[in-house]
Amino acid sequence: MASFCRVAATVSAALGITVAAVTVAIANTDPASDVLLQQDTFVTYQSVCSEIKTALKASTKKARASGYPIKVAVIAASSDLGGAPEYFDHPSAYSKFLGSELATISSHANRKVNGLHLLVVMPAGLALLHGTPEATAATRRIVTPQHFDGNTLARIAVKAVPRIATAAGHPTESVKIASGCSHSSNTLALFVVPIALLVLAGLAIRLAQRDRKTPTAGS
pLDDT tens for 147-203 read 889 999 999 999 999 999 999 999 999 999 999 999 865 444 444 444 444 555 555
Q: Which residues pair with 42 in a beta bridge?
A: 73
The pLDDT value recorded for residue 215 is 57
How far apart CA 7 and CA 13 sit, in angstroms, is 10
Residue 69 domain flag: yes
Give the count of beta carbons closer than 10 Å to the beta carbon of residue 53. 21
Phi, psi of 128 (to 5 degrees): -120, 125
Higher pLDDT, 22 or 116: 116
Residue type, 24: V
pLDDT, residue 2, reads: 53
Q: Mean per-residue pLDDT for 20-46?
A: 75
Instruction: Kindly state the average pLDDT of the residues 140-148.
Output: 92
Minimal CA–CA distance to 34: which of 87, 2, 80? Answer: 80
pLDDT at residue 115 in the model: 73
DSSP 12: H
Q: Confirm whether 192 is domain-assigned.
A: no
Instruction: Quote the pLDDT of residue 4.
Output: 47
Tally of residues, the chain = 219
In a domain, 8, yes or no: no
- Determine, yes or no, domain membership for 105: yes
What pLDDT does residue 212 have? 59
- Is residue 168 situated within a structural domain? yes
- Average pLDDT (4-12) is 48
Phi-psi group of 218: left, alpha or beta (phi > 0 → left; psi -120 to 50 → alpha; rest → beta)? left
Domain hosting 154: range is 31-187
> Which CATH number does the domain housing residue 145 bear?
3.10.310
What ranges make up the beta strands (E) of 84-198?
117-122, 125-129
- Please state the rounded mean pLDDT for residues 86-106: 91
Compute the distance between CA of residue 21 and CA of residue 41 in angstroms, rounded to an integer.
Answer: 23
pTM summary value: 0.71
* Domain membership flag for residue 179: yes
> What tens digit of pLDDT does each residue of 63-86 get?
999 999 999 999 999 999 999 999
pLDDT tops 60 at residue 44: yes
Give the residue with greater pLDDT, 186 vs 93. 93
- Whether 55 and 74 have beta carbons less than 8 Å apart is answered as no
The span from the CA of 99 to the CA of 30, in Å, is: 11
As a whole number of angstroms, the distance between CA 142 and CA 50 comes to 23
Q: Total structural domains in the chain?
A: 1
In a domain, 160, yes or no: yes
116 found inside a domain: yes
Cα dist from 164 to 87, 92, 119, whole Å: 23, 16, 9
Contacts of 1 (CB under 8 A, 6+ apart): none
Percent of the chain, pLDDT > 90? 59
Phi, psi of 8 (to 5 degrees): -60, -45
